[in-house]
Amino acid sequence: MQISAKADYAVRALAELAADPGRPLTCEAIATSQDIPFRFLKAVFRDLRQAGLVRSQRGCEGGYWLARDPAETTLADIVLAVDGAFLTLRGERLDDLGYRGPAAGLPGVWRGMEAHVRQVLTSTALSDLVRERLAA
C-alpha cells in the first residue's frame, strides 16, 4: 500500500500552517522546513487552494494561511483534495472493480481496506497532528 507524495506533502504543509496560525507562511519556508521539493509543493498548494483548504496573499507580506479551523479539517479532506480518492488499484478507483473465478472475492477485501483508511483519515483532524507535536 502506498501513500502518494502529494498527500504526504499536503498534510505536512498544512500541519506547518496549523502549528503557526498567527502569520502567513511562504511556500519556500514550508518547503525548507519539511524538506519538500519547492516546485512540487507549489503544485500541491494550487490543489489545496482550489479545494478551499488554504488561502493565499501575494506580495512581501504574503504567503499561505489555513482557510478553515484545523479542528474542522480532516486528513480525509486533504487527501481527497490532492488525490481525489483514498485508495486506487493501479491508478483506478475501486468502485467498478470485479474479478472472476477464485479471485472474485478480492475486490471486497480492497474495498474493506479502503473503508478502514477512510475511517482513520476522517477521524483525524489537522489539529490532532499539531496537538501530538506540542504534547511531545
Beta-strand ranges (E) seen in the chain are 54-57, 63-66
- Give residue 135's pLDDT: 53
pTM of the predicted structure, to 2 decimals: 0.88
- Residue-level pLDDT at 99: 87
Classify the C-alpha dihedral 102-107-108-110 as positive or negative.
positive
Name the residue type at position 31.
A
Q: Which percentage of the chain shows pLDDT scores above 70? A: 95
* Cell (9 digits) for 4: 502518494
Rounded average pLDDT over 45-49: 96
18 burial level (CB within 10 Å; 0-12, 13-18, 19+): buried
CB contact at 8 A, 10 and 48: yes
Residue with the three cell numbers 493501479: 90
Which pLDDT belongs to residue 11?
Answer: 97
CA distances (Å), origin 119, targets 75, 86, 114: 10, 10, 9
How many CB atoms are closer than 10 A to CB 120?
12
Residue 4 contacts residue 85 (beta carbons within 8 Å): no
Question: Does pLDDT of 127 surpass 80?
Answer: yes
Please give the mean pLDDT across all residues of the chain.
89
